[in-house]
Structure 1
Amino acid sequence: MRASSLTLFAHPVASIPDASSESLDVPRGTLMIQGTTSDAGKSTLVAGLCRLARRAGARVAPFKPQNMALNSAVTVDGGEIGRAQALQAVAARIDAHTDLNPVLLKPTSDRGAQVIIHGKARMNLDARAYHDYKPIAFEAVLESYARLKASYDTIFVEGAGSPAEINLRERDIANMGFAEAVDCPVVLVADIDRGGVFAHLTGTLACLSETEQARVRGFVINRFRGDVSLLQPGLDWLQAKTGKPVLGVVPYLHGLTLDAEDMLPRELRAANAEGLEMLRVVVPVLPHISNHTDFDALRAHPQVDFHYVRAGGTPPPADLIMLPGSKNVQGIWHFCAHRAGTPCCNGICATVGG
């Protein structure tokens, strides 16, 4: 990330060196990374910042107040947190524990989710009931944050989705609601690869209140391809328009095989080894798929020709068809039963074909 004298915390972080982080003076405090959309790159950016700070000698921890994801990980104390926070813990060189993600929501349908508090499943709630439950969930969030703050020098907080979800602003515990409660600065991240990055940033900022806008220290543009000098006129316009600097431009990182938080990975297939006999594996993308990171080892194996097949797609010839796990097995069965043809299996996780 290209930057100079980044004002990320309440005071400058100092210039980030190009080759080494050993000379980086990381201040104590909390910085929150929010995104203009889901999959803007918040999780990866927080992981990178955690490793950068750790290399500089800081005691650093990641934190996500509320995570809605079907990919989860088990902590050293037997709890359950979002997969992204487990990855960020590795980057920070600490053990993953439940305070890193005190509230985890695992969707069971389009309208409901299993609620996990401090690593333990508490109940299943629909969207309206969870909205009413949020003040209790927020208490768990603030308890975990207080423990982290007492144990670590620096905390990088990851927001959820976008702070500009107006319908969710009341009782928000995942984005600006948390930032205002703990009085921390915010950096806003946008993905230029999907297009419309300047509209995303200015539009998100415009949807925030004046006090929330004041928390935003600047922007990071993620997944840039090409000559960054050609982007400079846009960066200059953005700063003139908003009064906030672009703190860095992160290039598109090809082959970044890090665990996905919830969405299927963008690069679905690994490079296959030439001259080797391949095992052909097909995984249908079903509703409410969970822990699809379980397939990452197959995706990365040079002797596996791996394919995800989405609804309506034609599966290629396969040696193995694997059905992914789900929090809504009955829903998956109905989904398969209403598609043309006969479901490949009922009640098992894989079938082998010729």
Structure 2
Amino acid sequence: MVQGTTSDAGKSVLVTALARILYRHGISVAPFKPQNMALNSAVSADGGEIGRAQAVQAEACGLTPQTDMNPVLLKPNSELGAQVIVHGQAIGNMQAREYHHFKPQLLDEVCAAHGRLQARHQVVLVEGAGSPAEINLRANDIANMGFAEAIDCPVIIIADIDRGGVFAHLYGTYQLLSATEQARVQGFVINRFRGDVSLLQSGLDWLEERTGVPVLGVIPYLPDLHIEAEDSLNLRQLTDAPEADTGARLQVVVPVYPRTSNHTDFDVLRLHPQVDCQFLRDPADFRGADLIILPGSKNVRGDLQWLHDQGWVPVLQRHLRFGGRLFGICGGYQMLGQRIDDPDGVEASAGTSPGLGWLDMATRLTGTKTLRRMHGEAISDTLAPAGTPVSGYEIHTGESTGPALDKPLFRLTPVDDPRGQALTDGALSADGRIAGSYLHGCLDEPALLQAVIDWVLDQPGQGHDFDYARLKEVSFDRLADAVETAITLPRLYQLLELETPSSC
């Protein structure tokens, strides 16, 4: 099990790296996280919802994501509450205190899921959450040492030296563990180190002498490494004020509201050589764009109100008057309609909110969540030439209806039910400048992304061939190479009690 001294210490990245290393050496390996709190999620092959990080780690293992890889997922929808998802299905909303008392009922569930993975794979790599030294969360813990104790699992603790205070983080975390928890710690790992490792040696010696725990490796800082983020936007990704001219052919802005979900939809745009994709919170920082994308949301009516309160709506109106394009994904798509009804308080308080009114449709939120992986083709020549392949996944509550749906974007079938009924998705405005879809990840499809760039720039055939899937594979291997150098293969096999290959 990999635990961290803080959030964003590198737990997800280290599990991804170790998974890729073992996969490359022919070991059957699977990722696991007992409890995840994240607004980035994915749809598993068995029709459930899991944290995005575990889906990415499954890719690194050469596996299709399964709900057993993340049996408990919390999706915050207010400052004090979250939707609780168990084995891929939402069971309701809970306030923080209510969930804290509910956790003991979940321990058997997460242990059972872990056991099923163990039965199918040689190695299961477990990722913790936050820090095991959060004293206020120690009771009823199922995410860190509570889980490790329940399944008798050895632990590695990782810290990010780029944050500063790395020895205080590691030593302090270790000292705050109980004696039995300290006994499970088999090693420390230092992440994101810049410079000459020999200059760190005196600190490493001090830490090992004080704790009796070896430092397994120092992972270097890897510039421009892309591994999809587990949770909310990294503050470094937010832009205070975009530069006037970045040299990119396409300027994209994504407003970031408080409950933005699945911002990984836009990783392909941030990495595309022709695109300058900016995440903005403050509309005062808006300097113009070719395309504005309204992202998904875990609280659609609340985030729509935030757009009004912050002054984004006049910005969107002016953008459209000047000929800009507007695209909504999932919750952002729902916002483009005439009305959003939540009569049962599925996401927050019950009520109705007027939409932005640019698509003639209305959305009614219900307790049933749509979870499915989809593929198909474009059927609107405006956004993309008919027949352009498209794929992605749906994660949404509610259903949209209205005349706008008579001009859909895509014809789709479920990936996991190839004989299932073909469905249409999305809508396009009469003038062809506003579009929306429920399909997360649709821009990852190279041909569709090229077509969307052509649509925005109104220049057919000008898209750039950019293979995002290939970039992810290269990133997995680059990360694995660095970690395998820092934590040698014989040492890793020893930790996992695997027979070391003769080639090592």
User: What is the TM-score normalised by the length of structure 2?
Assistant: 0.60
Structure ranking higher on relative contact order (CA contacts 8 Å, 6+ apart)? 1
- Of 138, 144, 166 in structure 1, the residue corresponding to residue 107 of structure 2 is 138
SS of alignment partner, residue 238 of structure 1: helix
Q: Distance in 2 between matches of 1:191 and 1:313?
A: 33
Q: Which runs of 5+ in 2 are unaligned?
A: 239-244, 317-331, 337-355, 359-432, 435-455, 458-504
Deviates most, 114-123 or 320-329: 320-329
RMSD: 2.5
SS of alignment partner, residue 322 of structure 1: strand
Letter in 2 for 1:288: R
2:82 pairs with 1:113: yes
2:306 pairs with 1:335: yes
CA 1:338 to 1:275, structure 2 compared with 1: closer, same or farther past 3 Å?
closer
Deviations 1:31-82 (A, max 9, x none): x000001111111110111111122222111100000001011111111111
Q: Distance in 1 between matches of 2:208 and 2:312?
A: 56
Letter in 2 for 1:88: Q
Cα distance, 1:146 vs structure 2: 1.2
Q: Which runs of 5+ in 1 are unaligned?
A: 1-31
Aligned residue number for residue 287 of structure 1: 258
Deviates most, 123-132 or 166-175: 123-132
Q: Distance in 1 between matches of 2:96 and 2:2?
A: 25
Letter in 1 for 2:90: A
CA 1:341 to 1:332, structure 2 compared with 1: closer, same or farther past 3 Å?
closer
Cα distance, 1:136 vs structure 2: 2.0
Aligned residue number for residue 310 of structure 1: 281
2:119 pairs with 1:157: no
CA 1:260 to 1:277, structure 2 compared with 1: closer, same or farther past 3 Å?
closer
Contact 1:268 1:299 in 2 (8 A): no
Contact 2:283 2:315 in 1 (8 A): no
- Of 235, 246, 251 in structure 1, the residue corresponding to residue 220 of structure 2 is 251
Cα distance, 1:309 vs structure 2: 1.6
- Of 167, 178, 182 in structure 2, the residue corresponding to residue 213 of structure 1 is 182
Paired residue total: 320
Contact 1:63 1:157 in 2 (8 A): yes
User: What is the TM-score normalised by the length of structure 1?
Assistant: 0.84
Q: Distance in 1 between matches of 2:88 and 2:194?
A: 39
Cα distance, 1:283 vs structure 2: 1.4
2:25 pairs with 1:47: no
CA 1:267 to 1:257, structure 2 compared with 1: closer, same or farther past 3 Å?
farther
- Of 135, 145, 152 in structure 2, the residue corresponding to residue 176 of structure 1 is 145
- Of 65, 81, 85 in structure 2, the residue corresponding to residue 96 of structure 1 is 65
Q: Distance in 2 between matches of 1:275 and 1:102?
A: 43
SS of alignment partner, residue 101 of structure 2: helix
Cα distance, 1:340 vs structure 2: 5.2
Larger-Rg structure: 2
SS of alignment partner, residue 338 of structure 1: helix
Deviations 1:222-276 (A, max 9, x none): 001111111111111111222211110001111211211003257649xxxx997
CA 1:280 to 1:114, structure 2 compared with 1: closer, same or farther past 3 Å?
same
Cα distance, 1:142 vs structure 2: 1.2
Deviates most, 301-310 or 180-189: 301-310
SS of alignment partner, residue 260 of structure 1: coil
Cα distance, 1:312 vs structure 2: 7.4
CA 1:341 to 1:177, structure 2 compared with 1: closer, same or farther past 3 Å?
closer
